[in-house]
Structure 1
Amino acid sequence: MDIREIQSLIKFVAKSGASEVKLEMEDIKITIKTGSSVPEATIYQTAPMATAPQVVTQAPVAQPSIAPATPAAETPASDDSKYVTIKSPIIGTFYRKASPDKPAFVEVGTDVKAGQTVCIIEAMKLFNEIESEVSGKIVKVLVDDSSPVEFDQPLFLVDPS
């Protein structure tokens, strides 16, 4: 893992809103903690037995200030209560298409069946197909394409009727 990959991982974690991420591979351990507003990363890399382990500390990356999300208070809560929410089962990057030249899995107004793929979430270079838990019609797409998503973040609203 080179420094560019580590820096992009730090930026991804900062954008995702996760408070702590630990990554352990054969010869490297990375812990990224985001506290107040500045993420920090500590990287431990094991070297050959003849030398002592190296400790590399990444300089903190300034996290852009994010305005607090305002809930949709303008619309009555009863409108959304009849819809079923499809949520993200993992942290990663949300994609509506399998590739840039393919059509989106679903659009607003698309009828979906339980088990049908509605999007892909990339996590650590693995592309995970996210399936609908219910049958119904897609009413709203709640996340922009290529955006980071958190665990349990709402992705779609589905009208099951």
Structure 2
Amino acid sequence: MSRLLVDADAIRALAEILTETGLTEIEIAEKDNRIRVVRAAAGQVHALPAAAPVAVPVAAAPAAPVDPAKHPGAVTSPMVGIAYLTPDPGAPAFVTEGQTVAAGQTLMLIEAMKTFNQIKAPRAGTLKALLVASGDPVEFGEALAIIE
């Protein structure tokens, strides 16, 4: 029975080179030893020393996307409807990103059942992000904007 010796440090170094350079495959050979590292479609790297596969993770999994509705400064939709950022087509927007807003200031309108409902700032602060565009359909509880 033959014993396979794997140089884990060499495999890690090759995996780092793949990550840094964007290459999909790299191989080194020295005497009777050969290490080949190939980036798989799922973001994993497989090392094949002497034709025996060994899986080595390249990096930690990406962080899960943060739900904007859970942000402490999120302004959420109180209803289902269509969001409008201007009072009329061609008119300037109620607010713009980066603008300081006062508590009670109109941020946008939501049309529901042919009625336009004003969405007002619940607190004073800076409008960090508008998360919808004019004409976008919105759902109840959906984050519309972030005020910090």
- Give the one of 75, 83, 90 matched to 2:79: 90
Unaligned runs of 5+ in 1: 1-69
After TM superposition, the score normalised by the length of structure 1 is 0.48
Distance 2:92 2:81 in 1: 21
Within the alignment, does 1:136 sit opposite 2:129 as a pair?
Answer: no
Within the alignment, does 1:71 sit opposite 2:65 as a pair?
Answer: yes
Equivalent position SS for 2:145: strand
Within the alignment, does 1:126 sit opposite 2:120 as a pair?
Answer: no
Equivalent position SS for 2:89: coil
Deviation at 1:72, TM superposition (A): 4.5
Distance 2:96 2:139 in 1: 21
Q: Report what 2:144 is aligned to.
A: 155
Equivalent position SS for 1:105: coil
Within the alignment, does 1:107 sit opposite 2:93 as a pair?
Answer: no
Deviation at 1:71, TM superposition (A): 2.6
Quote the RMSD (CA, aligned, Å): 2.1
Structure with bigger gyration radius: 2
Give runs of ≥4 in structure 1 deviating > 6 Å.
none
Q: How many residues align?
A: 84
Distance 1:94 1:134 in 2: 20
Equivalent position SS for 2:126: strand
Residue identity (%): 38
